[in-house]
Amino acid sequence: MGTLLSVSELTKIYEVRRTVFSVRKDLITAVDHVSFDLMPGKTLGVVGESGSGKSTLARCVMLLEKADSGTIAFAGFDWMNGHESQRRPLRKEMQIIFQDPYSSLNPRKRILDIICEPLLAHRMVAKGEMKDKALEIMKAVGLDEDSLKKYPHEMSGGQRQRVAIARALSTTPKCIIADEPVSSLDVSVQAQIINLFLDIRERFAISFLFISHDLSIVKFLSDEIMVMYRGRVLERASREDLFSNPLHPYTRMLIDSAHGETPERQEREAAGQGGCLFFDRCTDRQEKCRETQPQLRSQADHFVACHYVYPCGKRAL
C-alpha cells in the first residue's frame, strides 16, 4: 500500500509591509520546510496554536496558495508542478472543509445546488440523477430531504458544517483536508461532528489531514500527529507515542494546556537572534538552545526538533 499524499520540504514565504505607507517589506515564513506522508485510510492530525502555519499548509496542499519551494505528490502525481490538464481529473479526489461553514457556502444557493456543484463541475452524474445522489449524501451526514430545499442561513452552524462535509463527500474523494472544521461550533455540536468524521473515515475509507488547535480533538481522530510551531514541525509521532512519551517541550505544553507569549521572544526576534523557536517558553532550555535551531530528527519512528529529549539535558539527540 503506497503513500497517498507526500509533502517534502514545503515552504511558503509572505512579503508583508510594516505599515500601509511603508516601502520596506518584511519576509514572514508561514510554512518552513514541512514534510510528511499520509497513507490511504489514515488520519494525520496537525496541531499548533494560532499562527503556527497549519491553515497555510492546508491551502498550499490544496494549491489555493502557491508554495515557494518543496514538492507535493498526490497518488503518485506531481501535484504542485504537474500540468493542469493532468491535475484536473485528480482534483475530485482531494477535497477541503473550511473552518467557517457559513462563509464557505454560497448564501444565494439552495443546499441541493451547493452539493451538486462539484458533481456538475466534474461531470460525474447526469442532471436527472443529481437529486437522488444529493439525497444519498445528505443521509450519510445526518440530514433529511427537507434540507435540500433550504438556504444556508436557514440552518444552524452544525447543520451547515454537515452540508460542507456532504459537498466534500460528493465526489467520493480519497483525501479530505479538514481545516479547523469544529472550532466555530458549540461544544455539544463539536462532539456530533467529530463522531461524524469517525463514521465517514470508517465507512468510506478516506484519508484525512485534520487540522486543529485543540490537541484533545486531534488525539481522538488521528493515527499520527504532527506538532507545528511558527511554521516548522517540532514533533511528529504516532498518537500513542506522542501522548505517552512527548519529547518536545512545546508538545508537553500543549498537552498541559499552557499558553502565552513572552516579551523575551519579541526581544530576541527584534535583535535577529537565532536558536530554537520555542526557546523563550521552554522550561528546560539550555545555552545551546539559544544559539542553534534544532532540526527535525528521528528517534525510531518518533520525530522531534529538539536538542534534548525529556528530561532536558539528560539524553542528547
Return the pLDDT at 262: 41
The sign one gets for the Cα dihedral 103, 107, 111, 116 is: negative
Contact indicator for 223, 37 with CB cutoff of 8 Å? no
Give the residue carrying C-alpha cell 472543509: 97
Contact indicator for 316, 307 with CB cutoff of 8 Å? yes
> What is the full per-residue pLDDT of the chain (317 aa) written as tens digits?
689 999 999 999 999 877 767 778 889 999 999 999 999 999 999 999 999 999 999 999 999 999 999 999 999 999 998 888 888 889 999 999 998 888 889 999 999 999 999 988 888 888 788 889 999 999 999 999 999 999 999 999 999 999 999 999 999 999 999 999 998 888 889 999 999 999 999 899 999 999 999 888 898 899 999 999 999 999 999 999 999 999 999 998 888 863 344 434 444 444 445 688 888 888 888 888 888 888 888 877 898 999 887 544 444 44
| pTM attached to this predicted model | 0.81
- C-alpha grid cell, residue 158: 452544525
End-to-end CA distance of the chain: 31
Return the pLDDT at 266: 44
Return the pLDDT at 257: 64
Distance CA(82)–CA(86), nearest Å, equals 7
What stretches of the chain show up as alpha helix (H) in DSSP?
Answer: 54-61, 84-91, 111-121, 130-140, 157-169, 187-204, 215-221, 239-244, 249-255, 263-270, 287-291
Query: What is the full DSSP assignment across 278-305?
Result: TGGG-TT--HHHHH-PPPPEEETTEEE-
| 120: number of Cβ within 10 Å | 12
Rg (CA), the chain: 21
How big is the chain, counted in residues? 317
Contact indicator for 72, 36 with CB cutoff of 8 Å? no
Distance CA(37)–CA(14), nearest Å, equals 25
